[in-house]
Amino acid sequence: MNEITKAACIGGGVIGAGWVARLVLNGIDVAIYDPDPEADRKVNEVMANARHAYRQMSPDGLPSEGRITYVGSIAEAVADADLIQESVPERLDLKHKVLAAIDAHARADAIVGSSTSGIKPTDMQPSMSAHPERLVVAHPFNPVYLLPLVEIVGGEKTTPECVDKAKSLYASIGMKPVAIRKEIEAFVGDRLLEAMWREALWLIKDGICTVEELDDIMRYSFGLRWAQMGMFQVYRIAGGEAGMRHFMAQFGPCLSWPWTKLMDVPEFNDELVDLIATQSDEQSGKHSIRELERIRDDNLVAIMGALGKQNGGQGWGAGELQNDYVRRLAGSVKENG
């Protein structure tokens, strides 16, 4: 398995800081370039929550943390890095500028992963005149230091060897890399989330339910099912002994019923923003964002820990992966001790 000795993170916002935390807590040195004068504070706050979560997840100890170094240029950040994670805002012109600088100064064999949530790698590769073949989309989910999935997407100039190497590198830090078979905008995860987000906005706008009621409907029902088995395996069970064929025959006609507004988008105006924001404040306003992050992290650790006890102790789904990850972390402690 390919392993990371040194990494570079370009951008230290919510996603970039999450990458820093996962890498550093795996004992990897990380160089950060972010022109935001508040980057140090923001990364440190994310690191504090990540350490709290990892101590719960791996009570037997963690490997020695990697060093965090803030640098003044992209060139300095990417020097000698095995993995370079780009996490700048979703503007193609900015992506081009940053990726061109990375490409000019990074080692030829370094993998460049973009955290973009929707831009196709082919649209980003024109700025990389030297080695476009090593660019992949490496789209994570927040919090990056806990949620293991990373969608790997290659562009027209990405080589299969670089996709395989990227999968190996991300797996080495406890992630579940899934290579997307065809290059499309927003990949798979965000396309599913966007469909639900649009329907949710209609349900709130039309007064069918509140923000809090919608969240309760998700977290007390299918959210729990999806967390451990996904969509299709859950629906296979719903088909009874006849399995998926029976489920499709029974519920397939619903696709033509007027149940959804998914193909129509509510007008995104100040009225809708105020409605959603006000209800969200009523739901969670008593907690700061950092407090909500800590609550979220504690819940995720507990859920994955519970899944890790299933299947005769071997674990199930994310729990099985977490068991392997915790063993790896504990093994690093013994090796370093």
Query: Could you tell me the CATH number of the domain that includes residue 258?
Result: 1.10.1040.10
Query: Can you say whether the dihedral through the CA atoms of 222, 145, 141, 278 is positive or negative?
Result: positive
284 plus 330 within the same structural domain: yes
> How confident is the model at residue 16, as a pLDDT?
98
Residue 168: inside a domain, yes or no? yes
Peptide bond preceding 59: is omega within 30 degrees of 0, i.e. cis? no
Residue 160: inside a domain, yes or no? yes
> How confident is the model at residue 40, as a pLDDT?
97
> How confident is the model at residue 335, as a pLDDT?
53
Residue 139: inside a domain, yes or no? yes
114: helix, coil or strand? strand
Backbone angles phi, psi at 67, to 5 degrees: -85, 145
Residue where a domain stops, chosen among 156, 179, 202: 179
173 plus 199 within the same structural domain: no
| Element at 288 (helix H, strand E) | none
CA distance 95 to 145: 23
Instruction: Give the number of other CB atoms < 10 A from CB of residue 166.
Output: 27
> How confident is the model at residue 333, as a pLDDT?
61
Residue scoring higher pLDDT (284 or 54):
54
Q: What CATH number is given to the structural domain containing 107? A: 3.40.50.720
CA distance 240 to 171: 35
| Per-residue pLDDT tens digits for 184-199 | 999 999 999 999 999 9
**Local structure of residue 27 (DSSP, 8 states):** T
Structural domain span for residue 266 = 189-336
170 plus 286 within the same structural domain: no
CB-based burial of residue 9 (10 Å sphere; 0-12 exposed, 13-18 middle, 19+ buried)?
buried
167 plus 214 within the same structural domain: no
- Contact criterion met (CB below 8 Å) for 246 and 237: no
Q: Give every CB contact of residue 256 below 8 A, 6+ residues apart in sequence.
A: none
Residue scoring higher pLDDT (43 or 285):
43
> How confident is the model at residue 129, as a pLDDT?
97
Residue 1: inside a domain, yes or no? no
236 plus 153 within the same structural domain: no
Residue 242: inside a domain, yes or no? yes
Pull the structure tokens for residue 284.
């969670």
pLDDT at 334 over 70: no
132 plus 199 within the same structural domain: no
Residue 287: inside a domain, yes or no? yes
pLDDT at 200 over 80: yes
Residue scoring higher pLDDT (274 or 252):
274
Residue 184: inside a domain, yes or no? no
240 plus 318 within the same structural domain: yes
Residue where a domain stops, chosen among 144, 179, 214: 179
Average per-residue pLDDT in the chain?
Answer: 94
| Per-residue pLDDT tens digits for 12-69 | 999 999 999 999 999 999 999 999 999 999 999 999 999 999 999 999 889 999 999 9
221 plus 155 within the same structural domain: no
194 plus 281 within the same structural domain: yes
173 plus 198 within the same structural domain: no
The rounded percent of the chain whose pLDDT value lies above 90 is 84
pLDDT at 337 over 60: no
167 plus 204 within the same structural domain: no
Instruction: Tell me which residue of 269, 255, 306, 259 sits closest to 57, measured CA to CA.
Output: 306
209 plus 173 within the same structural domain: no
Instruction: Give the number of other CB atoms < 10 A from CB of residue 207.
Output: 8
Q: Give every CB contact of residue 239 below 8 A, 6+ residues apart in sequence.
A: 245, 246, 247, 248, 250
Residue where a domain stops, chosen among 128, 146, 179: 179
Q: Tell me which of 14-18, 162-166, 213-217, 286-290 is least confident.
A: 286-290
User: How many domains are there within the chain?
Assistant: 2
CA distance 287 to 289: 7
Stretch 109-124: mean pLDDT: 98
Stretch 105-129: mean pLDDT: 98
- Contact criterion met (CB below 8 Å) for 203 and 209: yes
- Contact criterion met (CB below 8 Å) for 145 and 25: yes
Residue scoring higher pLDDT (235 or 113):
113
